[in-house]
Amino acid sequence: MPIAAALSWSRHTDEELAAAFCHGQRPCFDEIVRRYHSPVYAFCRRMVSRAEDAEDLTQEVFVQLLRSLPGARTDLPLRPWIFVIARNKCLDHLKRRRALSFADVAAEDSEVPVLDTAPLPDELAERADLQELLLGAIGALPERYRAVVALRYSTDLTFAEIGGVLGLPENTTKTHFQRAKALLRRQLHGRL
């Protein structure tokens, strides 16, 4: 795709991109993927802990979106719907893997992406340990709290939008988030 065409799509809203895709403008979907790949992956990573599973689930989210978008209502916000798909994919995955405890799943994945490219090796080790502790603690949360935390920290969704994704009232979503933070504090107390 020419750079000028890519730049022109980047100026459109999600809903405009969805509508244009439904009317045959295939490059619009590339822009949707560009916008949401990282946040969807981050959400999936927090939900399922293993990087490989999160990558697979992220791909499944966009495959389902590609298939479902032509029949969808493009007048509704796209972002919450993408995260509804991501949540459902993650829950399906977790149900298939229910035999493993979340602590076991988090422990078997030692690969942690590092954002800072210039730290010293001891700093890297400390960050990896901290990230592993945090992912393990999030993974050990009850499912309803884990979803709220993962959406809050991996996306820029508001509590109202998170509630829409999860099918919960906004105040319930806020309550779940506060309870999750308290549980995380207890789990991580003395370990940090």
For position 159, what pLDDT does the model report? 92
The domain segmentation of the chain, as residue ranges, is: 1-99, 141-192
- Residue 100: the pLDDT is 46
pLDDT of residue 136: 82
Give pLDDT tens digits along the chain (192 positions): 443 444 477 788 888 998 889 888 888 999 999 999 999 999 999 888 789 999 999 999 999 999 998 888 877 888 889 999 999 999 889 888 764 444 544 444 445 444 444 555 666 566 667 777 888 888 888 888 998 988 888 787 889 989 998 999 999 999 999 999 898 888 887 665
Fold of 1-99: Rna Polymerase Sigma Factor; Chain: A (1.10.1740)
Give the burial string for 109-130 (b: 16+ CB within 10 Å, else e): beebeeeeeeeeeeeeeeeeee
| C-alpha to C-alpha distance for 167 and 81, rounded to whole angstroms | 11
User: Could you confirm whether domain 141-192 is CATH 2.10.25?
Assistant: no
Report d(CA 192, CA 186) in Å as an integer: 11
What's the whole-model pTM score?
A: 0.62
